[in-house]
Structure 1
Amino acid sequence: MLHLGNPGRRINIGLIAMTFVLSIFAGRLIQLQGLDSKVYTAEAAEQRVRDEKLTARRGSITDVNGHELALTVEAREIFVDPAEVDPRERDQVATVLATELNQPKEQIAAKLGNSGSRYQQVAAAVDPSVAQRIMERIAKQKLSGVGSKPRYRRDYPGGDLAGTLLGFVGDDGTGLSGLENTYNKLLAGRDGEQVIETGREGQHIPMTRSTLQAPVEGRDVRLTIDRDVQWAAQKAITDQVGATGARTGSVIVIDVPTGQVVAMANAPELDLRAWEKTAPEDWVNRSVTDVFEPGSTNKVITAAAALESGAVRPETVFRVPDNIRCADRVLRDSHPHPVERLTFSGVVATSSNVGTILASQRVGDQRLHEMLQRFGFGAKPGSGLLGEEAGLLPDWKKWSGSQRCTIAYGQGVSVTALQTASVYQTIANGGTRVTPQAVAGTTTEKGVFVPSAPGKRTRVVSERTAREVTGMLEAAVSEEGTGSLAAIEGYRVAGKTGTAMRYDPKCQGYCGYTSTFVGFAPADKPRLVVLAVVQDPHKGYYGGEIAAPVFKKVMTFALKSKKIPPTGTTPSSVRIRAGE
């Protein structure tokens, strides 16, 4: 006979079991909503709340006329979330990205396979049209895990125009060289921040908390550089470096009254759109970093010291052989010649080493050293450009027997191209040096242009000395001088050649030459200084042959570009040799 269980007992047991289970749920609920509520609330908020950096737009760098040399353009970052990409679709996604971004497919596939990551950058800054095309293809093929977000990209319309002067920025937008580095803080502005709550798919949840700190846009930097003159200078020096098989070259153009740099070109120049492919040693601005012995361009300082001291006059006659003994060395002129009776003007015009030494002996070591210092040797020019060097000026008390002679004609001291150009700006400006400037001014956060303070003015020599040296330099560009190839039809030109033995650390001695020409025009009313220097040419080496033609091309273009007319005057006759 079948006996059924006690229904009341079963119900009691069931109630007890239900009570036990419910008590567990209640305890857990108390733990979640009571004891540990703050912990879980924080974790939930961490999952929902997203902190986004709002990148400030970097300011522009323009030339003196407002033409943009460096600017910021809209771009897009392309990224992937490997966890959102279906493993079966990885190959399709990699194919789309590799094709559109021109990247190795294997490299992208490796990022897609990093399943432990939720974010992998594929491209830092691509054109918005490329990003749009990628996202359209991804959507059309119903793929997932690929995203795009706004970014900025630095662009240099001129490519290598003033490349080492401008410099470039890294992937994070920080200036790494040139003016991009020097003025990085001003150009970069200040990034903002936005905090929002997002859903599972990353969408913004309406009506939730959101805070915004707007970015402060970067400010602009306006240079003294003239884009057109810069282009002409860069082309001229690049062509000559190539034609002569030289290592490097530089051209500087300076506005005489203000000391402002109108052009600063180097060859080879840095292509700012492909700087990663260039060796770091070629990122520097050679016009301010490379030091060299100036050679005969330095004779103007010796001439200024001799005239300023009253030791000689332009018409003072020297009996000049083609060699002279200095301590244990015999020093020579550039070519053999019989003993000549040259005026001091003739000594400078014909670039006689021996005649220059004879004049310097009347000046004395200390006074010559003081004049070199007054012209800026041994000190940075003060332009503020990155990597600016001071060169080398030994203490006169430590000059060797031969240095007492060689320094007079530019061997035994070291300078930069900018220092040399500044010397001639001083002579052209009536003996007053103006600290060279490359930055015309900057804008405020409201976009108002604020000009830079004028360059410091320093009286170096008297107006009379500057005028007499100018006459000598004008004679140097005459048919009897060493710089005749620098003459410009219709204009009065003053200038000086320089041919110096070149010290090279690689051969641990003097190997090759430095060829230089520097001058100004119009000679009787100077407006522009142009310096051309070519390092280690292999097809000729005299400054009058190698550098003077570069000077002529650049100066001719600059005079026309700046609409500087000839003065229409005739230079005074300068007596080169006694008895003429």
Structure 2
Amino acid sequence: MSDDDFFGRPSSTTIHDQRPATRPAPARPAPRRAPKKPAATTARAPRSASLRTPPSAPRASRPPSAPPSRSTSASGPRRIATAPAPRPVRPARPTVPGLTGAQLRTRTRRRLLAFVIAMVAVVAAVGVQLVKVQVVHPARYVAYGQSQRDGSRALPASRGAIYDRNGQAFAMSVAEPMVVADPAQVKHPVATANALARILGADAAGIQAELTTTSRYKVIAKQITQAQVTKIKAAQAKSDLEGITLEDEYLRSNPNGDLANAVVGHALPEGQKTAEGQTGGISGIEREYDRQLKGQPGKLYYEQDVWGKPIAGGHRKLDPAKQGTDLYLTLDQSLQYEAEHAISDEVAASGAKSGQAVIMRPSTGEVLAMASVAKDDQGKIANTRDNRSVTSVFEPGSVNKMITVAGAIQDGAVTPTTMFDVPDQLQVADRVFHDSELHPASAWSTTDILVTSSNIGTIKIAQQLGKARIDHYLRDFGFGQDIGLGFPGETRGILKDPQDWSGSDIGAMPIGQGIAVSALQMLAAYNVVANDGVYVAPKLVASTDSGAGQVPTEPSSGHRVISADTAAKMQAMLSKVVSDGTGKDAAVPGYEAAGKTGTARIPQNIPGAEDGYLDANGRYEYQSSFVGMINGADLSIIVTVEDPRTSIYGADIAAPVFAHLAATALRRYEVPPPALLDPADHAVPELSASAREVDGEDVASSTSTPQG
């Protein structure tokens, strides 16, 4: 095939432009690579030979300085064309074997199958989830959706009040305003913080930090003044405090200070807790009746938007808070005040460590006053927080002799006139017991023994009664068991089982050694005598009020311990203790007081000590007591003082306080003197001449340890 071009010239022939020698040749632009064209499917027809130009002879070279000449032919100047430079040879690409049609169809089917399987899996997963949401657990997801839409806010309940029997408040909840913020609704935290800081006199930076938290509820300030409340409301009216509200916080208030503090107890403010996690009432009646007092908080339900703001016009539901139940105690504030002041004065005057006084109404078991005071490290006397009349114990000493004598009379072992030969000392097993005063062996009646508080005479009566019956009466009079108040920390006392008695316990326990009781237990035992032989459990709550008026509480349980005749004889014998015996300072002019003095050593229980009653300084400490009643007045009182220094005897320390409290209660309840009442025949003998010579009372003591 010819290599001539379209004009018949050889393709390798160089064509020169005919231009003037003085005109330089124009620069040839760099060749551009044209895009690769697909190969033609048909062969290109060869060009006609007549159109090709035969190759011309090569033109002689011109000197470099000679300018190109301009052609004067009619066809005009011609440009010189040069042959394009050869293209670089590219390396050959590796040959990829092509897929056959069958292979392409197989691959397509596989891809389609995989796609179908994936789609089926997705649809199945969606279907399973739909079944789970709509069939298996629909309520769960409905609740979740509602939780996103429904908002709520707790409404605190006012704690119930505690009143005395006459409606005078011991403790009550008082609404105190506090500033609360919803940070999500505060649009301008800095401006709001500055405004609140000016009103509250607080640090603006601290308030701003509270307003920028993620919480929806923040307490900014508590117990603000009424003037501050007025300023905040004025700012809210101007829309200067968006997201800020005023709420009431109920704080416990004691209008009469610490009056009856040991009984009423203490309650924490709303939201506070102790280190042990206790909330609400933490002591006393506040704790015992915490469930009834605290009430039931309410709740406000509303619809909210995605930002947690209430939707205007949305659904709202209010469950109002239910106020706690009010309690009306059996206590009388007037008597409580007198009891606290009287026992505090005696503790101060005698240099004692502590003291307790309880006033009761024997027929109903109602506690009219219950005082417990102690001296602190600085020497200040104040009400205790633990109500020791119920929570602590002491060895009763001679006041326990009443139970021994009453049990013996009830069983018929003795009568008030039974005579005994009473020396001033007696050995029982490995212990030697003494009367407080030396005296020759005397013929004393049961009445003489009780009135003079003879240890030896009481032990002889107990020996006739026997160990089993002594234990029976101690328990029947209420020792060694719960009182039934349900008071926090209430003690059962300490009372051995008969099988655990030592040989000398038949001498120790009848005179009040080797056992321990609370003040309330001992007074409840004396109430048996005052209440014609029937034991009535003590009670502290007279009635409750849940909003529909006062509802009296159930009467205290009771059981007969001794007969009414035995009780009358014991009343007569105990009245001689006051009129002729060791309790003369307990007398109340115009009334018949009856009771028993008691002076008992306080166990120290120092490890390794030979005498369990000696303290670290080698001295004895004493519990001085008087327990008694006003015959015919339905009134009983116990006074007990720990470690007095001016005297150790209950006749000197406790009896005068009894007389003062009894006279106060009689005036308070306008009880007529016995001269206006029907006289009673008590049939007990007068004291013997030798018994009248005894001056003072016996101390429950021995020459050995309390265990023997």
Aligned mates of 1:194, 1:218 — CA distance in 2: 19
The number of aligned residues is 519
2:595 pairs with one of 462, 474, 495: 495
1:575 pairs with one of 683, 686, 692: 686
- TM-aligned CA deviation for residue 539 of structure 1: 2.9
Q: Can you list the C-alpha shifts for 1:301-350, whole angstroms capped at 9, x where unaligned?
A: 00012211222221222222222212222221223333333221111111
Give the direction of change, closer, same or farther, for the CA distance of 1:78–1:90 in structure 2 (3 Å limit).
closer
- Name 2:44's counterpart in structure 1: none
Query: Would the aligned equivalents of 1:497 and 1:517 in 2 still touch at CA under 8 Å?
Result: yes
- Name 1:340's counterpart in structure 2: 442
- Name 2:659's counterpart in structure 1: 552
Query: Would the aligned equivalents of 1:169 and 1:176 in 2 still touch at CA under 8 Å?
Result: yes
Q: What is the SS of the residue equivalent to 2:646?
A: coil
- Name 1:251's counterpart in structure 2: 357
Give the direction of change, closer, same or farther, for the CA distance of 1:199–1:156 in structure 2 (3 Å limit).
farther
- Name 1:531's counterpart in structure 2: 638
2:226 pairs with one of 113, 129, 134: 129
State whether structure 2 residue 168 is matched by structure 1 residue 67.
yes
Give the direction of change, closer, same or farther, for the CA distance of 1:204–1:504 in structure 2 (3 Å limit).
farther
- TM-aligned CA deviation for residue 470 of structure 1: 1.2
- TM-aligned CA deviation for residue 209 of structure 1: 2.4
State whether structure 2 residue 526 is matched by structure 1 residue 424.
yes
- TM-aligned CA deviation for residue 570 of structure 1: 9.0
Give the direction of change, closer, same or farther, for the CA distance of 1:131–1:506 in structure 2 (3 Å limit).
farther
Structural mapping, 1:285-304, within 5 Å: 285-304=387-406
- TM-aligned CA deviation for residue 261 of structure 1: 1.2
Amino acid at match of 1:410: G
Query: Would the aligned equivalents of 1:428 and 1:526 in 2 still touch at CA under 8 Å?
Result: no
The structure with the largest helix share of the pair is 1
Structural mapping, 1:374-453, within 5 Å: 374-444=476-546, 446-453=547-554
- TM-aligned CA deviation for residue 356 of structure 1: 0.8
1:514 pairs with one of 617, 623, 627: 623
Amino acid at match of 2:600: A
Aligned mates of 2:214, 2:603 — CA distance in 1: 55
Structural mapping, 1:436-475, within 5 Å: 436-444=538-546, 446-475=547-576
- TM-aligned CA deviation for residue 178 of structure 1: 1.4
Query: Would the aligned equivalents of 2:189 and 2:208 in 1 still touch at CA under 8 Å?
Result: no
- TM-aligned CA deviation for residue 466 of structure 1: 1.0
Q: Can you list the C-alpha shifts for 1:259-305, whole angstroms capped at 9, x where unaligned?
A: 111111211499xxxxxxx99x9532211111111111100000012
Query: Would the aligned equivalents of 1:82 and 1:113 in 2 still touch at CA under 8 Å?
Result: no
The structure with the largest strand share of the pair is 1
Aligned mates of 1:95, 1:238 — CA distance in 2: 48
- TM-aligned CA deviation for residue 467 of structure 1: 1.2
Deviates more, 1:74-83 or 1:333-342: 74-83
State whether structure 2 residue 152 is matched by structure 1 residue 51.
yes
Q: Structure 2 length normalisation: TM-score?
A: 0.66
Query: Would the aligned equivalents of 1:250 and 1:534 in 2 still touch at CA under 8 Å?
Result: yes
Aligned mates of 1:423, 1:177 — CA distance in 2: 26
- Name 1:171's counterpart in structure 2: 269
Give the direction of change, closer, same or farther, for the CA distance of 1:578–1:245 in structure 2 (3 Å limit).
closer
Q: What is the SS of the residue equivalent to 1:154?
A: strand
- Name 1:27's counterpart in structure 2: none
Q: What is the SS of the residue equivalent to 2:328?
A: strand
Instruction: Give me the CA root mean square deviation.
Output: 3.5
Q: Can you list the C-alpha shifts for 1:94-118, whole angstroms capped at 9, x where unaligned?
A: 686468xxxxx7xx97676565465
Q: Can you list the C-alpha shifts for 1:427-474, whole angstroms capped at 9, x where unaligned?
A: 111111111111112124x42322112112211011121111111111
- Name 1:484's counterpart in structure 2: 584
Q: Can you list the C-alpha shifts for 1:187-245, whole angstroms capped at 9, x where unaligned?
A: 22211100235799998653122221112222221111112111111111122222223
Query: Would the aligned equivalents of 1:315 and 1:575 in 2 still touch at CA under 8 Å?
Result: no
Amino acid at match of 1:152: Y
Q: What is the SS of the residue equivalent to 1:503?
A: coil
Deviates more, 1:396-405 or 1:406-415: 396-405
2:472 pairs with one of 366, 370, 378: 370
State whether structure 2 residue 388 is matched by structure 1 residue 318.
no
- Name 1:158's counterpart in structure 2: 256
- Name 1:263's counterpart in structure 2: 369
- Name 2:332's counterpart in structure 1: 226
Aligned mates of 1:529, 1:43 — CA distance in 2: 64
Aligned mates of 1:448, 1:194 — CA distance in 2: 28
